[in-house]
Amino acid sequence: MDKKIMVTSPAMPPIEEYFEEIKSIWENRWLTHTGPKHVQLQQSLEQYLGVKNVELFANGHLALEILIQAIGLTGEIITTPFTFASTTQAILRNNITPVFCDIEDEFYTMDANKIEALITEKTSAIIPVHVYGNVCNVEKIQKIADKYGLKVIYDAAHVFGTKINGKGIGSFGDASMFSFHATKVFNTIEGGCCTFSDETLVNKLKSIRQFGQSGELDVPFVGTNAKMTEFSAAMGICNLRYIKENILSRKRCVIRYRERLTGVKGIKLCREQTGIESNYAYFPVVFDGYKYNRDEVCEELAKYNVFSRKYFYPLTSSFECITSSKGETPVAKRISEKVLTLPLYADLSIEDVDRICNIILK
Ligand code: T4K
């Protein structure tokens, strides 16, 4: 049987390098609570992402949930259902109603032309998603937000390292959330961060991350426990050294996928976005009028030990836990029923990409 190829596989540094990095944790016995590794990673990320403010968290989901709380959003938030469960759950867990905006047909990001019709007096913010690594129409979204006095938080879980016309993607909107989960372009095992422009959020974010405490005696906020450990931060420090070459390896795989699958009738690929320095996070393929449908391709690949994923099906708007939401999203529904994300990670070989394409095209 051929070796297993999963949809992704975590980037990991040489083990000796990680051992070297964590030695000092044994020496100073500081395991968590904003230790030296945490601080080092935070500063390195501010530089790498080209942003003024970064706060680290135990995972991307909590970073988003806490951002929503810290910014003080209420009522309704306009968002997309074409995303991982986390985006919608972060809104719901803040007792806010998600209002679902449809996506556009080319890059599957929020359709900025459909936002204004969804704004009511209860709307406090827009939370779009840079899905798969495709960048939202940040200019248009900002214009709408400015016109109606709304906040914009980007779910940037998929766009670590991406730039728009040379500018770090974390500097758009009021804030962005990045995921450092094992399955992401950059990982800290589990982890995440937020980037934000308003400096006054710093203390609030830190406090909510640590049980709402501020110092030893004061508890000004209802908080949670969302701290990144020193072991995670050490993993991030090591992985950051390899980020350039990891993204380049991903790019090579994407180029090969494109060479093999472009122009095949019934197979639709996302084109490269102009002005964007991509991180090549995911490789989504829409099967629309191909000789096999999405589910058949997925099953066929699995027979050969290749495990693609139906990201993002079903839409989060159809989750049974959602009792109160608004918005019709026919484009998102159609795409979610036809899209398959093919394996893509730094260690994937060009031979593996060929093997996957051969199965799809046979
Ligand atoms: N917003 C968006 C748009 C997101 O996509 C996500 C996360 C978030 C927010 C929240 O960020 P975090 O709180 O997670 O930081 C996975 C990930 O768990 C999730 O992080 C990710 N999005 C989502 C798109 O994918 P699953 O349930 O599909 O993952 P799982 O465990 O099946 O892993 C996928 C494949 O990866 C496995 O088949 C094999 C491989 N794998 C996975 C792990 C965990 C490994 O090789 N090693 C590993 O350690 O959700």
86 lines ligand 1 (CB under 6 A): yes
| Index of the ligand 1 atom closest to the CA of residue 60 | 15
6 lines ligand 1 (CB under 6 A): yes
7 lines ligand 1 (CB under 6 A): yes
Query: Which residue's CA is the nearest one to ligand 1's atom 29?
Result: 183
Cα of 172 vs centre of ligand 1, distance in Å, is 25
pLDDT of residue 331: 97
d(CA 349, CA 362): 20
170 lines ligand 1 (CB under 6 A): no
Q: Which residues contact 320 (CB under 8 A, 6 or more apart)?
A: none
5, 307 Cβ separation under 8 angstroms: yes
Which among 57, 82, 84 is the best mutation to test ligand 1's pocket, defined by most ligand atoms within 8 Å of the CB?
84
pLDDT of residue 175: 98
Residue burial 326-354, b: 16+ Cβ < 10 Å; e: rest: ebebebbbebbbbbbbbbbbbebeeebbe
Residue burial 253-287, b: 16+ Cβ < 10 Å; e: rest: bbebbeebbeebeebbbbeebeebbbbbbbbbbbb
Query: Which residue's CA is the nearest one to ligand 1's atom 39?
Result: 6
d(CA 211, CA 73): 19
Per-residue pLDDT of the chain (362 residues; tens, 9 = 90+): 689 999 999 999 999 999 999 999 999 999 999 999 999 999 999 999 999 999 999 999 999 999 999 999 999 999 999 999 999 999 999 999 999 999 999 999 999 999 999 999 999 999 999 999 999 999 999 999 999 999 999 999 999 999 999 999 999 999 999 999 999 999 999 999 999 999 999 999 999 999 999 988 999 999 999 999 999 999 999 999 999 999 999 999 999 999 999 999 999 999 999 999 999 999 999 999 999 999 999 999 999 999 999 999 999 999 998 876 677 899 999 999 999 999 999 999 999 999 999 999 98
pLDDT of residue 360: 98
290 lines ligand 1 (CB under 6 A): no
DSSP state of 356: H
H or E stretch including 98?
A: strand 97-100
